[in-house]
Amino acid sequence: MPIPALIVPLMDEKALRLLWDDDQISTYPFPYLRGWCPCAGCQGHDGERQFIKVENPQLATIKPVGNYALNLGWSDGHDTGIYSFEYLRTLSDQVAEFNATTTER
Amino acid sequence: MPNEKDILTQLQKIPYPGSRHDIVTLGLVRTVTLQENNVTVHFRPSSATPDTLQRLSQKITATLSAVSGIGTVSIHTGRPSGPEAGPGPVTAPGKTPLPGVNKVIAVASGKGGVGKSTVAVNLAMAIHALGYRVGLLDADVYGPSVPLMMGTEAVPRAGHDKKIFPVEKYGISLISMGFFLDDESPVIWRGPVVMGIIRQFLRDVLWGELDYLIVDLPPGTGDASLTLAQEIPLSGGVVVSTPQDVALLDVNRGIAMFRQVHVPILGIVENMSYYLCPHCGEREEIFGHGGTAKTGLEVLGEIPLVEEVRTGGDTGKPIVLQHPEHPVSQAFRTLAARVIEASQMSIH
């Protein structure tokens, strides 16, 4: 499983850029990343993917979690999302699918 | 006379170390300004280490100085103020073990009572005997056994800023909930309290410089194990089991937990592997033999059921220390050597 080798928050472009150790680059716009927060509070337990729409979210904190994830905190105070590297890779590789299945609530 | 766009084109020739992508594409260059013929480059805050930034700065200076018409080159790595500052210092995963601690190895099991603490204590002693600086963190807050097995009831001294000095015994730095409780008081805590204790044991204990920190996990896959895996990048996990099927059933859960949080599993230790009759020397395989190999993990060692291991634990004089020539002590030293070898391969 690839892990991030370099983490660059692009505050002016409102996006997070990752360089993976297999040399792939992923760029995540903040609203996309905040919207697909993987935490149970955002995703619920019914198995259906939920997109959480937040007005102009800003990335406030980034903490590495052990060997496997990043914990991202947002300007709206929400900081329970633990984004595993697998999940971040999926969010990057399947942008089209994620955008297509957006079910706002 | 070059303009700012020309300078960016020059910077696009500089790849990030270990990557084919350049520093502009990666977003590391925040601004480039040109005043008369003097260039100022501002880096964006990122997880790049100060070392890497310094190397890149030298490359930028060398690259731009070679362009005719450019005067001085100044490079800024500081954090901008205002909304541009972004999240505080960012570190890439796997790069923040505990300060001063080189490798952290967790000793886990699926079931209780398979001798996990015995293995952790003797593994720590054996690694120390091979010439390394070793710490032992007893993460079993509900049933701490390390104080008894290491023969100390010392109370850890307090340092500055709510820091704690570990207890030193037999050359090993120790911390355990047992040091803070008397023997009768039950530990009745919910998960968040346990998580807080594990965090404190990791962050607030003055471990100093250690080659290996061995963590004795509680049985199962609960709060203590998960907190440990989330708080720090573990170098590896060692799984302990007895050979019979009923113990192996839960071992597979422990293995799955390590896999899920990307902790490399160094291998499995088969404890109570066989009984060596003290009278006739015959080997009796009470729990069956070779069961741990069924997990598909590398069997790091087989520890027989002998009385000296038990008395070593109960009297606070681990067998590796008390009877260094005993075949079991030899087995623990072999285990230690293999754990060291396996953990060197780990990137964390």
Same domain, B333 and B193: yes
Average per-residue pLDDT for chain B: 90
Interchain proximity A59–B86, CB inside 8 Å: yes
**How high is the pLDDT of residue A11?**
94
Beta-ladder partners of A28: A16
- pLDDT of B185 > 80? The answer is no
Question: How do the domains of chain A map onto residue ranges?
Answer: 4-100
B338 occurs within a structural domain: yes
Tokens 């609203």 correspond to A31
Residues B168 and B212 in one domain: yes
Residue A84, min C-alpha distance to chain B (Å): 9
CA B116, CA B239: separation in Å to the nearest integer? Answer: 8
**H helix runs in chain B, sequence order:** 4-11, 50-65, 116-129, 146-150, 191-203, 223-231, 245-260, 307-314, 319-322, 327-345
Rounded to whole angstroms, the Cα distance separating B308 from B268 reads 22
pLDDT of residue A104 exceeding 60:
no
Are B170 and B228 found together in one domain?
yes
- B257 and B282 in a single domain? The answer is yes
Pick the CATH number of A4-100 from 3.30.2020.30, 2.40.128.20, 3.40.190.290, 3.40.50.2300: 3.30.2020.30
The structure tokens 């001294």 sit at B157
Tell me if B149 sits within 8 A of B318, measured CB to CB: yes
How far is Cα B131 from Cα B137, in angstroms, rounded to an integer? 19
Of A12, A28, A32, residue with least CA distance to A92: A28
From the list B299, B240, B295, the residue with the least C-alpha distance to B271 is B240
- The tokens describing A68, both together, are 């496997």
Is residue B90 assigned to a domain? no
pTM score of the predicted model: 0.81
Chain-chain contact of A25 with B28 (C-beta, under 8 angstroms) = no
Which residues of chain A does B21 touch, with a Cβ-Cβ cutoff of 8 Å?
19, 23, 25
Extract the tokens encoding B208: 């100093």
Query: Are the C-beta atoms of B273 and B243 separated by less than 8 Å?
Result: yes
Mutate to test the interface with A, among B22, B23, B31, B46 (most CBs of A within 10 A): B46
Do B324 and B245 belong to one domain? yes
* Domain assignment of residue B276, yes or no: yes
If asked whether residues B150 and B268 sit together in one domain, one would say yes
- At residue B53, does pLDDT exceed 80? yes
Question: Given this model, what pLDDT does residue A105 score?
Answer: 45
Measure the CA angle with vertex B91, ends B124 and B15; round to 5°.
Answer: 120
> For B143-222, where are the alpha helices, taking DSSP H only?
146-150, 191-203
List of chain A residues whose C-beta atoms are within 8 Å of the C-beta of residue B232: 66
Q: Which domain holds residue B295?
A: 101-345
Does the structure show a pLDDT above 80 at B247? no
The answer to whether residue B193 neighbours chain A at the CB level (below 8 Å) is no
Number of A/B CB contacts below 8 angstroms equals 101
Is there a single domain that holds both residue B120 and residue B213?
A: yes
Residue B215 near residue B244, CB atoms below 8 Å: no
Compute chain A's Rg from CA coordinates: 13
**Contact indicator for B15, B9 with CB cutoff of 8 Å:** no
- Residue at a domain's end among B85, B114, B146: B85
Task: Say if residue B252's pLDDT is above 50.
Answer: yes
Chain A residues touching residue B103 (CB < 8 angstroms): none
Which single residue is written with the structure tokens 């896959």? B221
Q: Does B342 touch chain A (CB under 8 A)?
A: no
pLDDT at B348: 59
- Same structural domain, B125 and B204: yes
CATH number of B18's domain: 3.30.300.130
CATH number at residue B333: 3.40.50.300
Answer yes or no: do B39 and B121 share one domain: no
Residue B286: both structure tokens together = 């009470």
ipTM: 0.90
| B96 assigned to some structural domain | no
pLDDT of residue B95: 53
Q: Are residues B118 and B235 in the same domain?
A: yes
